[in-house]
Amino acid sequence: MDTPRRVSRRTARPVAAFGAALALVAGLSAEAQAANGTLSYRDSNGIDHAKDNPTDGVCYSFTSEAGSVADFTDTDGRLFAGSLCEESTFLINIHAGSSLVFGGTKPRSARLGG
């Protein structure tokens, strides 16, 4: 026969495991928030590329220099002349809902949000 103490231990373990799993998922989803919309660019060969709902804080390297970039998301971003979003190669900010065309130095990567 189960005593009340044994029953409460059996109940507490699954509840604790569920709570820990929920906290882990909630914590990860807050860090991996995605911008709503599309980040797109036209490369040096005139080919259009697009990333729907890009993840904030992730560096997106372009296949080649971009002649134009469109940030049709709800999140501001940063464009870089280097392909790895290095701060030393920061080029220009791009605001949510805007697009830029480049003539001189062209971006090779982008990062939205934080």
**Burial bucket for residue 50 (CB in 10 Å: 0-12, 13-18, 19+):** exposed
Taken in order 71, 74, 76, 80, the sign of the CA dihedral is negative
Residue 26: CA atoms inside 13 Å, Cβ hemisphere, count? 6
Q: What was the pLDDT predicted at 5?
A: 57
Q: What was the pLDDT predicted at 6?
A: 56
In this structure, what DSSP letter does residue 93 have?
E
Angle at 95 between CA 92 and CA 97, to 5 degrees: 140
Q: What is the pLDDT of residues 48-81, one digit of tens each?
A: 999 999 999 999 999 999 999 999 999 999 999 9
Q: What was the pLDDT predicted at 10?
A: 55
Q: What is the pLDDT of residues 11-61, one digit of tens each?
A: 445 444 444 443 434 444 445 688 999 999 999 899 999 999 999 999 999
